[in-house]
Amino acid sequence: MADAHGESETAGGGVMMRDGLIRRIGEALSVGFVLIVVGVVAWILSAQVDFDLLETVFPRFVEAFWLVVRIVAVSSVLSVTLGVLVGLGRISNSPLTSRVTKGYVEFFRGTPLLFQLFLIYIGVPSLWATGEFPIQEWSLPAAVIGLTLNHAAYVGEAIRGGIDAVPDGQMEAARSLGMSRVMALREVVLPQAWRNALAAIGNDQIILVKDTSLLTVIAVPEIMSVFRNVNSTTFDPWTPLVWVCLFYLAITLSMSQIVGALERRADPTSQSRGGQVKTLLRRDSASQEGN
- The residues of the chain scoring below 50 in pLDDT are 271-277, 288-289, 291
pLDDT computed for residue 73 by the predictor? 95
Q: Are residues 259 and 172 in the same domain?
A: yes
Q: Are residues 39 and 55 in the same domain?
A: no
pLDDT computed for residue 192 by the predictor? 85
Q: Are residues 215 and 108 in the same domain?
A: yes
Q: Is 220 helix (H, G, I), strand (E, B) or coil?
A: coil
Q: Are residues 286 and 252 in the same domain?
A: yes
In angstroms, the CA 226 to CA 222 distance is 6
Q: Are residues 207 and 255 in the same domain?
A: yes
The count of structural domains within the chain is 2
Q: How many CA atoms lie within 13 A of 242 on its CB side?
A: 18
pTM over 0.85: no
The pLDDT tens digits of the residues spanning 155-174 come to 999 999 998 888 877 777 87
CATH number for 197: 1.10.3720.10
pLDDT computed for residue 187 by the predictor? 81
Q: Are residues 125 and 68 in the same domain?
A: yes
Q: What angle do CA 11, 17, 22 make, to 5 degrees?
A: 130
Q: How crowded is residue 255: how many other Cβ atoms within 10 Å of its Cβ? A: 18
Q: Are residues 28 and 112 in the same domain?
A: no
pLDDT computed for residue 269 by the predictor? 62
Nearest CA-CA partner of 177 in 64, 277, 76: 277
The pLDDT tens digits of the residues spanning 259-291 come to 888 888 877 665 444 444 455 555 555 554 454
Domain that holds residue 18: 1-47
The distance in angstroms from the start CA to the end CA of the chain is: 47
Number of helices (H) and strands (E) in the chain: give both, helices first.
12, 0
Q: Are residues 285 and 261 in the same domain?
A: yes
Q: Are residues 39 and 157 in the same domain?
A: no
